[in-house]
Structure 1
Amino acid sequence: MTKKKYTIKDIAKMAGVSKGTVDRVLHKRGKVSDEAHDKVKRVLGEIDYQPNPIARNLKRNKVYRICVLMPDWQIDPYWQPAEQGILEAINEFSAFGVIVDQYFYHPYQKESFTSKSKEILVSKPDVILMAPLFQEESIEILKECRENKIRAALFNNYINTLNGEIFVGQDLFQSGKVAAGLIDKVVSKDATILVLHLDKEDHMELKEKGFLNYFDERDHSNHKILSEAVPTSHQDELKKQVAQLYKSHPEISAIFITNSKSHKFVSLFSEIANSSKSPVIVGYDLLPENIDYLNKGQIEFLIHQKPKRQAYLGISYFAEYFLFGKEVPSRMLLPIDIITSENVTYYLE
C-alpha cells in the first residue's frame, strides 16, 4: 500500500492553522505560539511526516562545497583510482547541490601541498577532504580548518594527532601486521627480512611498527629484520643503493615494500642480485606494473588499499550528511584485502 504524501496545505488544514505556521514549525524559524506549535506537531506525529531534505535543498538553492586536496595522479599513478572515485561521487551528488572542487599537489613537494591548501582555505569551503602526505604541514592545515570552522576529513594517510577530523582508509598498523604474517608463513626459520621504504613518507612508519609488532608478539620468532629507506627519483641511484644493500645482506629472503612501488624494485632485481633465488615480496596496490609482476610470480602478495573507495566515501559521507542529515563516522576503516595471482582478476574493474 502506497503511503499518502501530505502537503503543507494538508497539514495546515488538519491542524487548523495557516500554511505559514506549518512552514515555520517544519523549518524551525520565526515565532509560533505554543498552542499552534503543539497542534502542528501532533498532526505530524499522526501522519508520521518525513521531510524530503533533497527537495528542501533544491528549493532553497542551497549549495555545499567540498574541496579535495590530493597528490597529482599524473605524477604518481597510485592516485588515479582515487580520482576515479571522486568523479563517481561528483556524478552522483552534483545534481543535488553538492559541488566538489579538486586541487592537485606535487606528491614530492611540500611547497606544492602548502600552496594548494592555502588556496582552498581562502575559498572557505564547507569541507576539506585531503590525502596528507606531509605530516607537519597537514597538522597546520587542520589547525587552520578548526580556527575557520571548516570541517576536515582525511583519506588514505592517517595522522596520529587527529582532533575531531574524519579518517577514511585502512588501519595501517594492522596492515603491517598482515604483511608480517604473510611473510612469516612462507619463509624458513631465522630468515633475514627487509622492510623497504621506497620514497619514505610518515605514514609508512605505522606499517613498519605493525610489521615489527607481529614478530614481537611471537616468542618463537628469530628472524633478522632490517629497515631501509631508498629514494626512487633517480633510477641509477636506486639501483646503486639496492645493489649495495644486497651486497651487504645477500641472505635476504623476504622483502616488505611499504607502498605501491614494488615494481620499481622488482624491475631491478635480476640486475643486482647475485643469488638466483628471488626473495618473497609483499607490497601494496593494484598498479598495472605490480599486477604484471604478481602474475609472473615475482611478487607473492599485494595488499589492496582501495584508494577509489576511500575517496568516494570521503565525499559521499558528507554529501549524505548535507542531504539527509546522516551522521558522518569519525573513522571508517576498510577491510585489508590480500591479493594473489589467483584472485587478482576479481578486483579489477
Structure 2
Amino acid sequence: MDDKPHIPSNIRIVDIARLAGVSVATVDRVIHHRGKVSAANLARINEVLREVDYRPNLLARSLASGRRQTLWVVTPEFSEGDYWADVEQGVQRAAAEAGRYNFELRECRFDQYDRASFGEVVATLRTGEVDGAVIATLFAEQVVPLTRELDARGIPYVFVDSDIPECNRLAYFGTASADAGAVAARLLTDRMAADADIVVGSVVHAGDGGSNQCRYREQGFRDYLAATGFRGRLLDVRLRIRDEEYNRQQLDALFDENPRIAGAVTFNSTCHLLGSYLAASGRRDVRLVGYDVIPRNEEMLRRGVVTALIAQRPEAQGYYAVRALYEHLTGVSQAEKVNNMPIDILIRENIGYYRTNIY
C-alpha cells in the first residue's frame, strides 16, 4: 500500500508547508529568496518542491511588475539550412512563451566570418534598452569586454555555442567543446593507421583566427591524438565559404604533396566543403568527420562521403537560453550555470531517426 501523502493537483504554498512539516512563512521565504532558513528546513522544502515539480505563477509575477522587459539575442546571420537557423527555431519557440509574460525579444545578428561586424552589435547593445541577453560567443575576445559592461549594469546574460567560464554568465547551453573535439578524434582515427595524415579544414575569418568554439574543439581533438599515440601529421588548410575553385586548388595541391592523407575534419558546420571536394575528386578512401546536421552535411553523410557528424541540439540551446533569462528575471527559477547538451553521433545508418528539436 502506498503510504505517501496525497499531493493536490493544484499545489499551493500551504500544501508545500504541510508536506515539508514547516510553516507557510518558511516556505514563502524559500520560494521568494528572502530571509534566512535553517539548512534542515531548506532541504525538506526543496525535496518537496522537486517531488511536486512546483513552478510559481509566472504570468502573475510578470504582469505585477508593470513593465515590458526586453531580451536581446545576439547570434550570427544565417540562411535557410544553416546551423544558426536551427538555433533560431528554438529562440522563436521560447520567444512565443516569453511574450505571454510581458517580455519582448529583439535580435541582433553579425557576420560570423567578420570580427568587425560583432563590434557593430556591441554598439547597438550599449545604446538599446536591455534587460537580459543571449550571446553567441564566436568572437570571445570581444564578448568578454561586452560582458563586463553588462555586469556593471546588472544585466544577466546567457551563452550559447561555447562557454567562457571566466565570465559571470547566468548560464551556458551548449556542448563541452573540448570533449566534442575528442569525440571527433576518436571517430576519425578508429581503424586508421597511427602514422597516417589528417587534413584539418578551417574557414577564413576576416580579422580573427577562428571562433571560440572551433578553438576549443581543435584543442580537444589534438589532446586526444597526443594521448593515444597518433604519429601522423595534421595538415592545415584554409578554405572559403563561396569559392569552390579556390578550395579545389588548395586541396589538390595538399593531396598531391601528401599521399598519406587518410582523414579529414572541420570543427564547425562546414564539413560539406571538404565533402564536396572528396566526392568530386573520387577520393573514397578518406574518412571525414564534421559537426552539425545541416542539409548539406546530411546529404554528404547519406551518400557515404562523410563518415560521421557530431550534433549538439541547436534548437534546444536557443530555447533553453531564452527561457533561462525570462524565468530568472521573474524570479521563477535559476538555471544551472553549465548546461551541457548531449554530444550526438550521427552515421548513415541512424541519421534518418535524428530530430534536432528533441528538448
* Fold match by TM threshold 0.5: yes
Q: Distance in 2 between matches of 1:50 and 1:231?
A: 48
2:148 corresponds to 1:146: no
Query: What amino acid is aligned across from residue 299 of structure 1 in structure 2?
Result: V
The 10-residue stretch of structure 1 (74-83 or 99-108) with the greater mean CA deviation from structure 2 = 74-83
2:292 corresponds to 1:292: no
Q: Following TM superposition, by how much is the alpha carbon of 1:334 offset from its aligned partner in structure 2, in angstroms?
A: 0.8
Q: Following TM superposition, by how much is the alpha carbon of 1:5 offset from its aligned partner in structure 2, in angstroms?
A: 6.7
Please say if residues 73 and 83 of structure 1, whose CA atoms lie closer than 8 Å, have aligned partners that are also in contact.
Answer: no
Query: What amino acid is aligned across from residue 231 of structure 1 in structure 2?
Result: R
Please say if residues 137 and 159 of structure 2, whose CA atoms lie closer than 8 Å, have aligned partners that are also in contact.
Answer: yes
Partner SS for 1:162? coil
Which residue among 182, 185, 191 is the counterpart of 1:180? 185
Please say if residues 278 and 298 of structure 1, whose CA atoms lie closer than 8 Å, have aligned partners that are also in contact.
Answer: no
2:129 corresponds to 1:119: no
Please say if residues 59 and 100 of structure 2, whose CA atoms lie closer than 8 Å, have aligned partners that are also in contact.
Answer: no
Q: Distance in 2 between matches of 1:181 and 1:241?
A: 26
Q: Following TM superposition, by how much is the alpha carbon of 1:118 offset from its aligned partner in structure 2, in angstroms?
A: 1.7
> CA, structure 1 residues 245+323, in 2 after alignment: closer, same or farther (shift >3 Å)?
same
Q: Distance in 1 between matches of 2:223 and 2:142?
A: 28
Which residue among 261, 265, 271 is the counterpart of 2:270? 261
2:236 corresponds to 1:227: yes
Q: Which residues in structure 2 correspond to 1:241-280 (within 5 Å)? A: 241-272=250-281, 276-280=283-287
Partner SS for 1:186? coil
Q: Which residues in structure 2 correspond to 1:65-104 (within 5 Å)? A: 65-74=70-79, 77-104=82-109
Deviation digits for residues 236-274 of structure 1, max 9, x if unmatched?
Answer: 22221111111221221111111111112221224456x
Q: Which residues in structure 2 correspond to 1:17-28 (within 5 Å)? A: none
2:297 corresponds to 1:305: no
Query: What amino acid is aligned across from residue 319 of structure 2 in structure 1?
Result: Y
Q: Following TM superposition, by how much is the alpha carbon of 1:147 offset from its aligned partner in structure 2, in angstroms?
A: 2.3
Deviation digits for residues 40-81 of structure 1, max 9, x if unmatched?
Answer: xxxxx9xx9996343132234243321001111128822100
> CA, structure 1 residues 68+247, in 2 after alignment: closer, same or farther (shift >3 Å)?
same
Under a length normalisation based on structure 1, what TM-score does the superposition of the two structures give? 0.80
Q: Distance in 2 between matches of 1:316 and 1:4?
A: 22
Q: Following TM superposition, by how much is the alpha carbon of 1:146 offset from its aligned partner in structure 2, in angstroms?
A: 1.8
Please say if residues 54 and 324 of structure 1, whose CA atoms lie closer than 8 Å, have aligned partners that are also in contact.
Answer: no
Point out 4+ residue stretches in structure 1 off by more than 4 angstroms: 1-7, 26-29, 48-51, 270-273
The 10-residue stretch of structure 1 (63-72 or 180-189) with the greater mean CA deviation from structure 2 = 180-189
Q: Distance in 2 between matches of 1:54 and 1:171?
A: 34
Residue in 2 that maps onto 1:217: 227
Residue in 1 that maps onto 2:25: none
Q: Distance in 2 between matches of 1:264 and 1:228?
A: 12
Q: Following TM superposition, by how much is the alpha carbon of 1:346 offset from its aligned partner in structure 2, in angstroms?
A: 1.8
Partner SS for 2:342? coil
Query: What amino acid is aligned across from residue 218 of structure 2 in structure 1?
Result: E
Q: Distance in 1 between matches of 2:292 and 2:97?
A: 26
Q: Distance in 1 between matches of 2:90 and 2:32?
A: 34
> CA, structure 1 residues 174+289, in 2 after alignment: closer, same or farther (shift >3 Å)?
same
Q: Which structure 1 segments of 5+ residues have no match?
A: 8-25, 30-44
Residue in 2 that maps onto 1:20: none
> CA, structure 1 residues 172+28, in 2 after alignment: closer, same or farther (shift >3 Å)?
closer
Please say if residues 81 and 295 of structure 2, whose CA atoms lie closer than 8 Å, have aligned partners that are also in contact.
Answer: no
> CA, structure 1 residues 138+298, in 2 after alignment: closer, same or farther (shift >3 Å)?
same
Q: Following TM superposition, by how much is the alpha carbon of 1:88 offset from its aligned partner in structure 2, in angstroms?
A: 0.6
Q: Distance in 1 between matches of 2:56 and 2:202?
A: 52
Q: Following TM superposition, by how much is the alpha carbon of 1:322 offset from its aligned partner in structure 2, in angstroms?
A: 2.7
Q: Which structure 2 segments of 5+ residues have no match?
A: 1-7, 15-30, 35-44, 205-209
Deviation digits for residues 314-336 of structure 1, max 9, x if unmatched?
Answer: 11112222335311221111110
Residue in 1 that maps onto 2:41: none
> CA, structure 1 residues 28+116, in 2 after alignment: closer, same or farther (shift >3 Å)?
closer
> CA, structure 1 residues 51+73, in 2 after alignment: closer, same or farther (shift >3 Å)?
closer
Q: Distance in 1 between matches of 2:307 and 2:55?
A: 53
Deviation digits for residues 287-307 of structure 1, max 9, x if unmatched?
Answer: 111111111111010000222
Query: What amino acid is aligned across from residue 249 of structure 1 in structure 2?
Result: N
The 10-residue stretch of structure 1 (315-324 or 258-267) with the greater mean CA deviation from structure 2 = 315-324
The 10-residue stretch of structure 1 (112-121 or 178-187) with the greater mean CA deviation from structure 2 = 112-121
Q: Following TM superposition, by how much is the alpha carbon of 1:136 offset from its aligned partner in structure 2, in angstroms?
A: 1.8
Under a length normalisation based on structure 2, what TM-score does the superposition of the two structures give? 0.78
Root-mean-square deviation over aligned CA pairs: 3.0
